[in-house]
Each structure stands twice: as C-alpha cells, then as structure tokens.
C-alpha cells in the first residue's frame, strides 16, 4: 500500500514512522512545500521518497493530509480533483466542520474520511516526530456515513494499526467537544503564559517555576501556524468555551474577593472531580468497544 503524507511535521511524521514500521504502508511518499522540512524528513528516514504535490497525490492508494487546518481546506478539493476513483483520502486536522464543507459537493466526497487523532505534543516539525505517539489514544471519525465503506474501512484499519481506538461523531459534535477539551486548554495556557510574562521578571519565572507551573503552561509552547487557523475555524465554539471559562474564573475571583472560604472550598472540591473523571473511575466505559458502541448508537 502506497501512502502519501502531505505535511511532514509532528503528526504526519509520527504517523509515517509507525505506519511504515507496522507494515501498514509498503512505501511512504512525502510531500511538503517547505524544502527544509522535506529534506529533514528524508534524512531522518521518516519517508521513503519525496514528491511534488501532484505526483505524490497521483501515486498514492491513501493520501493523508497532515497540515494546519487552513491548508487542509485549501488543498483538499485539489486532492480530490487529482485522485483516481479508487484512492482514499483522510485528514488529521483538529477542526472538522469547515473541512467537510469544503468538499461537500465534490463527486468524490465518498473517498474522503474526516478524522481527528487526539494526540500530540507542544513541539513541531519533522524532528518532533516520534514513534508510538498515537498508541492507546483515540481518534474521532466525523460524518462517517458520508464516506464510502471501503474508504472508511481502510482509514479505520490505519488507526487500528497505530494502536488507536475510534469514536464516531458529527463534525459539529466533534468541533464543540474539542473546543472544550482541547482548544480551550490551549487558549488557557497561551493567556496564562502572557499574564505571567507581562507581570514577572523572566529570571524569576525561570527560578521559581516548579513542576506545577510548567505543566499548566506546557501547551503555550504550541505553534501559532497550527493554532491560529484552528481557533479561527472553530471560532463560535471556542468563543463559547472561553466565555464559560472566564465565567468560572470570575466566580472564583468573587468568592475570593468576598473572602468566602466555604465557597472557595466547594469550587475546589468540585474541580477535584476531574481526578476520577480522568482516571475513568466514575464511568463504566473502560473498554474502547463500549465507547464505540455508545457513540455509534448516538447517531
């Protein structure tokens, strides 16, 4: 199976590494419009060979778009124009409504599978690509009823071979949920970094930043090239999420201003519930199969 990966950064590079290793792909063709990224990916052995956009797309059984979401929208219609009727196309962007809208009426819409593998680090570029980035994580497949069964099956098989489980949602549901669980934490970290950088001497931050601060602002290291288009494409839901977050911060601030110890204690106690939620202790859905069944049933 020939896999063409367009965009050889953290996500595309990490997928290429594992998909070659597990033999899902027999040949990996890399496409990247930044020559230094393309060269680096080849030197690191992430791809078998490089190609230009058109050659890469035409040579593939499966085309994977691993680009910032604004570039996905720009390129996806052109990819569908170039492929044969038997080629599968998938993207891995963090937003989905605008991506699926961009090819809604394309004659080969059914060849496309819209996905969002929920994994990453704060680093970017081919040198950030690492093995097993996706193992044990979850991928969201959106509007799967609009993909033809063969193309859906191939993309599911790809994620399975990466060790991922799969959840199925509408693009709208994915964008809303992701706004809260992924985009908001990034916005929160960017604003936290800026608030602290604006107020404190940098040497003091360096000296005093213990593990707590470091983990909270880790996402603030994420690249503007990737995140600006994500926020813009998911604007309504991210605005909703940030508004809700500001509301909760104001509630905390008011309790503090009023020196209301009981309310502060309750707000913290409520927040503590995230511990059992994240450990899965308060959900029966400990098996991925159940998750998939549940999310399937929902539609």
Query: 165 Cβ partners below 8 Å, 6+ apart?
Result: 137, 138, 139, 288, 291, 292
287 in contact with its own copies (CB under 8 A): no
239 in contact with its own copies (CB under 8 A): yes
- Looking only at residues 181 through 220 of this chain, which bind its own copies when binding is defined by CB under 8 A? 181-182, 184-200, 202-220
- Looking only at residues 91 through 150 of this chain, which bind its own copies when binding is defined by CB under 8 A? 118-122, 137-138, 140
Angle at 244 between CA 242 and CA 247, to 5 degrees: 110
291 in contact with its own copies (CB under 8 A): yes
297 in contact with its own copies (CB under 8 A): no
Task: State the nearest-atom distance from the C-beta of 290 to its own copies, in Å.
Answer: 9
Task: State the nearest-atom distance from the C-beta of 153 to its own copies, in Å.
Answer: 22
Residue nearer to its own copies on the CB measure, 56 or 237: 237
Would you mind telling me the total number of residues written for the chain in this entry? 299
Residue nearer to its own copies on the CB measure, 22 or 249: 249
28 in contact with its own copies (CB under 8 A): no
C-beta of residue 295 within 8 angstroms of C-beta of residue 168: yes
Residue nearer to its own copies on the CB measure, 104 or 274: 274
Distance CA(187)–CA(59), nearest Å, equals 39
From candidates 22, 74, 101, 256, binder to its own copies by CB under 8 A: 256
Residue 6 burial (CB count, 10 A) = 27
Task: State the nearest-atom distance from the C-beta of 279 to its own copies, in Å.
Answer: 8
* DSSP states along 75-130: HHHHHHHHS-TT-EEEE--S--HHHHHTTTT-TTGGGEEEEEE----S--SGGG--
74 in contact with its own copies (CB under 8 A): no
C-beta of residue 16 within 8 angstroms of C-beta of residue 2: no
């Amino acid at each position: 199976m020939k896999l063409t990966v367009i965009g050889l950064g953290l996500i595309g590079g990490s997928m290429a590494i594992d998909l070659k290793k597990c033999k899902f792909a027999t040949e990996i063709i890399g496409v990247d419009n930044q020559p230094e990224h393309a060269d680096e990916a080849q030197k690191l052995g992430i791809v078998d060979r490089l190609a230009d956009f058109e050659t890469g797309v035409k040579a593939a059984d499966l085309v994977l778009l691993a680009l910032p979401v604004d570039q996905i929208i720009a390129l996806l219609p052109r990819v569908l124009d170039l492929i044969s009727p038997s080629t599968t196309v998938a993207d891995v962007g963090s937003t989905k409504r605008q991506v699926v809208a961009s090819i809604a009426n394309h004659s080969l819409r059914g060849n496309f599978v819209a996905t969002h593998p929920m994994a990453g680090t704060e680093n970017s570029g081919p040198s950030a690509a690492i093995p097993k980035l996706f193992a044990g994580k979850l991928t969201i497949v959106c509007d799967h009823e609009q993909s033809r069964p063969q193309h859906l099956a191939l993309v599911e098989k790809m994620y399975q071979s990466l060790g991922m489980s799969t959840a199925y949602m509408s693009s709208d549901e994915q964008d809303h949920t992701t706004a809260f669980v992924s985009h908001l934490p990034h916005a929160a970290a960017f604003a936290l970094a800026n608030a602290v950088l604006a107020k404190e001497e940098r040497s003091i931050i360096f000296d005093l930043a213990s593990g707590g601060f470091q983990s909270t602002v880790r996402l603030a290291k994420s690249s503007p090239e990737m995140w600006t288009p994500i926020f813009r494409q998911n604007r309504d839901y991210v605005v909703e999420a940030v508004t809700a977050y500001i509301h909760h911060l104001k509630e905390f601030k008011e309790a503090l201003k009023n020196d209301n110890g009981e309310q502060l204690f309750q707000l913290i106690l409520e927040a503590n519930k995230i511990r059992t939620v994240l450990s899965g202790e308060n959900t029966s859905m400990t098996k991925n199969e159940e998750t998939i069944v549940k999310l399937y049933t929902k539609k």
